[in-house]
Each structure stands twice: as C-alpha cells, then as structure tokens.
Amino acid sequence: MGNKILVLYGSYRADRKGIRLAQFALGRLRARGEDAELIDAKAIGLPLLDRMLKEYAAGTAPPALAHLGAQIRRADAFLFVVGEYNRGVQPGLKNLTDHFLEEWFWRPAAIASYSGGRLSGTRSSYAWHNILSEMGMVVVSSTLTVGPIAATLNEAGEPIGPAGAALERAFERFADDLVWWTEAAKAQRARRAPPY
C-alpha cells in the first residue's frame, strides 16, 4: 500500500460544493497508489471544542474523538481541502483540527483551496498555512487553487470544461510535491525518532 494520506474537509452546509474537490483529490491520490482516506468533519460531527483529546483522562474521550486522534497519529501526510467564508477559514474544519495538537506533529501537509468565485479561496489558503505550521506540520510550497468550483468539477467530483482540464494537470504536480515530502519525513522518522 502507498502512503497513508488523510484528505480533510470541513463544510457543514447542506448545499456544500467543496466535497467535489475533496472527492476529486481522494480519487486521484488513490489512482496514484496512495492509501488515501476522507476525513469529513460534518460526517464525524465533533461538538464545538470543549476539551482537546489530550485533556481527557486515558480511555474517557468520546469514541469519535479518540478514533480520529488515532487516525491522525497513524497518517503519513495530510491534504487540507479548504473553502473561504468572509475571507477566513471554515469553522467546521478549524473546529476539528483544534481538538488535536501533538497528533499532527512531524508530518507534511498540503493545502487545496476553492471558492464559488475566481479567487479560489486563496485568502483562506494563506490563513491555513499559518495554522498548520502552528500545529507542527510542514506545509509544502505547492498549492492548488480551484475556482469557480462549480465550473471546474461536477457533482460527482469529476473535472469539467477548460477549468477542469487545468485542475487535472495541476493536481499531479501538487501531489508529486506532497508525496516527495511525505516519503522524506517517513524515512527520517524511521531513521531517528522525532525529538519531542
């Protein structure tokens, strides 16, 4: 099997569009032989942050929280699919990520942003770069920007039209970057345990 890559997405809206990009990324990573899995914050349904996972006594955390924490610890890399609300981040994905800290450490992360318009969620992408760095991930320099999302991917998450063709081309280079750093970090963790 390939690298364990979690694709994280966090819109809770009934008419959400970003799930198209999350499904597209999941499918393309799997086609490359990666062991990719979707983490859909809405489906997991964590409550608004009360206690972080580490603040629970051993064995007392809610099962969904403990399960997700173990998935994050096992992962080799993360791909964050981020939308933009009022030039900021989506609260559902931010709420999910804030439940953890050390669980994220020492792995690379890549950011794919999208929006309903031409700006493709780039301001949210900038914000996530800082957030993920603060949480101990190494953010790769390649980014993917998708917009308008409804003119790029259909409801099944398949590329459409010229924007879809451009996304198809851009994704492979973006994934090459993430996978290269994923394998570098994996080799280093095997060579020497992280210092903390």
Ligand X SMILES: Cc1cc2nc3c(=O)[nH]c(=O)nc-3n(C[C@H](O)[C@H](O)[C@H](O)COP(=O)(O)O)c2cc1C
Q: Which residues bind ligand X (CB under 6 A)?
A: 11, 13, 16-18, 83-87, 115-117, 119, 121, 149
Q: Is the CB of 87 or the CB of 169 nearer to ligand X? A: 87
- 154 vs 186 by CB, closer to ligand X: 154
Output the smallest distance, CB 56 to ligand X, in A.
30
Tokens 């914000």 belong to residue: 127
CB of 41 to ligand X, least distance (A): 11
Q: Are 179 and 35 in contact (CB under 8 A)?
A: no
Q: Which is nearer to ligand X, 9 or 181 (CB)?
A: 9
Long-range own/partner contacts, residues 128-135 (CB < 8 A, 24 or more apart): 128/80, 128/82, 128/89, 131/89, 131/94, 131/97, 132/78, 132/80, 132/104, 135/97, 135/100, 135/101, 135/104, 135/105
Nearer to ligand X, 117 or 194 (CB): 117
Q: Phi and psi of 123, rounded to 5°?
A: -70, -30
Residue 116 C-beta: closest distance to ligand X, Å: 3
Q: What is the dihedral of CA 126, 132, 137, 139, to 10 degrees?
A: -10
Of all residues in this chain, which one has the CB nearest to ligand X in the complex? 18
Q: How far is the CB of 125 from ligand X (least distance, A)?
A: 11
Structure tokens at 59: 């064995």
CB nearer to ligand X: give 21 or 185.
21
Token pair 């060579």 is found at 191
Distance in Å, CB of 124 to ligand X, minimum: 8
Angle between helices 161-191 and 19-31 (to 10 degrees): 60
Q: 155 vs 172, which CB is nearer to ligand X?
A: 155
Residue 168 CB, shortest distance to ligand X, in Å, is: 20
State which amino acid sits at residue 7: V
